[in-house]
Structure 1
């Protein structure tokens, strides 16, 4: 059984988080397509790394399926605009995690982010 190296995953999580935040902060200076889609793609990649860290014995397919399902669930939840949920979304952390409004393009970004994590993990360099 392969076990993920938590030290590598912490570096991946931190790096992906910084890149995602930077993609939003520096959006005016980035090409428009990168500014529009990088944050969502990196968000899904971050979810992949987090699940991989929390479930070190899971296969890459299990991690990818769970990350993909979680990301799609969050996006679909944006169709529900209850006042209490919108109050959470109005906070910085709530907005970063839950998003604001449903976009079909986000589903593509999430799929690409999870796929990137899966392919990087399958390179076997991230395993012990």
Structure 2
């Protein structure tokens, strides 16, 4: 089932917020609990992948967006097992390192699943909220 088109401006704003949170989780680990500094960046990275896909294809279903995002994240993680000079030189660049990562970790796979799941859940909440607003009602609380 196709979702109604998402608001690109909302998705873009969410992506900017998530990128800022992700970068700060890597930049200021001493101000966070260890579990946050270890895993938040990978969770938020996967969430940005989901948001990026829904920005490019606003009408994509949540299931397809989650499947494609998870597939992309898994391919990136698996690519970290490959260390040719050309790809390692890309990883040496700050942006390349943020996108491609450096070394394979099993825990990253779990983080990617969590990040994409968060994206799907928030997407569902906004879909329900927008549907209710279109009907002239008051948006429901997320847990109702």
Q: TM-score range by the shorter chain?
A: over 0.9
How do 1:40-51 and structure 2 match up within 5 A? 40-51=42-53
Partner of 1:6: 8
- Cα distance in 2 between the residues matched to 1:3 and 1:40: 27
Q: Could you report, residue by residue, the CA deviation over 1:9-65 in whole angstroms, capped at 9, with x for unpaired residues?
A: 111010000000010111112110000000000000000000001011110111111
Larger radius of gyration: 2
Give every structure 1 segment of 4 or more consecutive aligned residues whose post-TM-superposition deviation is greater than 6 Å.
none
The two structures have a TM-score, normalised by structure 2, of 0.85
User: Runs of 5+ in structure 2 lacking a partner?
Assistant: 135-144
1:61 aligns with 2:63: yes
Kept in 2, the 8 Å contact 1:71–1:110? The answer is yes
Instruction: Number of aligned residue pairs: give it.
Output: 128
Give me the CA root mean square deviation.
1.3
The two structures have a TM-score, normalised by structure 1, of 0.96
User: Runs of 5+ in structure 1 lacking a partner?
Assistant: none
